[in-house]
Amino acid sequence: MIAAVILAAGHSSRMGRSKALLPHRDGGTSLVRHAITQAKSAGLKTVIVVGREGDAELEREVAVAGGTFIANVEPDRGQLSSLLAALDALGSDELIVDGVLVLPVDVPLVSGGVLRAVVLAAEGTAAPIVRAAHHGVHGHPVVFKREIFDELRAADPALGAKAVVRADPARVVDVEVNDPAVLADVDTPADYERLFGRPLPETDLPR
């Protein structure tokens, strides 16, 4: 079993407000709800969303979408701290999880089909790290298998999971997909307008 881990504990300082709760392309769903829906459509039954402690609005949105909210009590330590919070939350389930598929919430256009392609590739290789790529450029999502969970836990938080990925290129498999969405993130209002074809709305979706 591979569990999905959606990272949504960032400050969103360049956006000016929570990226996870921004309206998605159709205007009727949020970025985080879209990510949860796509993960479930890819066959991932366990979908964890890691957010900042006390973010009640995000927690409600995750619950409505059928995900599991986990609070990162040290989000300022970087994305790796959110991934480790998710691993800790798996608890005894970690023993039956083959790996985790990691997707930042600010990579908002990745489809369930792409997620499924990466999962199938991970299931078909002995490599412990599998990631999506487009035209030879790697992006998200990334699958980390159980055998390197302890290595992730021991990694330097300042360097994050990248240090684990770069430690041995021979154990990384890139899955080429015909979708530039795996490279497209949204950090600023200009990014939002470029990706979604409309200006950033003044308010989030009504709750």
Q: How confident is the model over 6-58, as pLDDT tens digits?
A: 999 988 878 878 899 999 986 679 999 999 999 999 999 999 999 999 999 99
Could you tell me the residue range of the domain that residue 21 belongs to? 2-196
Q: What share of the chain is helix, strand, coil (3-state, %, to 5)?
A: 40, 20, 40
Question: pLDDT of 67-123, one tens digit each?
Answer: 999 999 988 888 999 999 999 998 766 557 899 999 999 999 999 999 999 999 999
DSSP state of 93: G
pLDDT of residue 95: 59
Q: Is this structure's pTM higher than 0.75?
A: yes
Stretch among 87-96, 170-179, 188-197 having the lowest mean pLDDT:
87-96
pLDDT of residue 87: 94
What is the arrangement of strands in the sheet containing 99-104, beginning at the earlier edge strand?
A: 68-72, 47-52, 2-8, 99-104, 137-145, 129-134, 172-176
User: What would you report as the CA-atom Rg of the chain, rounded to the nearest whole angstrom?
Assistant: 16
Q: Is residue 206 part of a domain?
A: no
Residue 60 has pLDDT above 90, yes or no: yes
Residue 206 has pLDDT above 70, yes or no: no
Alpha-carbon gap, residue 40 to 62, rounded angstroms? 13
Q: Is residue 204 part of a domain?
A: no
pLDDT of residue 27: 66
pLDDT of residue 105: 97
Compute how many other C-beta atoms are within 10 angstroms of the C-beta atom of residue 119.
23
Q: Is residue 26 part of a domain?
A: yes
Q: Is residue 160 part of a domain?
A: yes
Domain count along the chain: 1
- CATH code, 7: 3.90.550.10
pLDDT of residue 83: 96
Q: What percent of the chain has pLDDT over 70?
A: 95
Q: Is residue 58 part of a domain?
A: yes
Q: Is residue 153 part of a domain?
A: yes
pLDDT of residue 111: 96
pLDDT of residue 12: 80
pLDDT of residue 137: 96
Q: Is residue 92 part of a domain?
A: yes
Q: Is residue 13 part of a domain?
A: yes
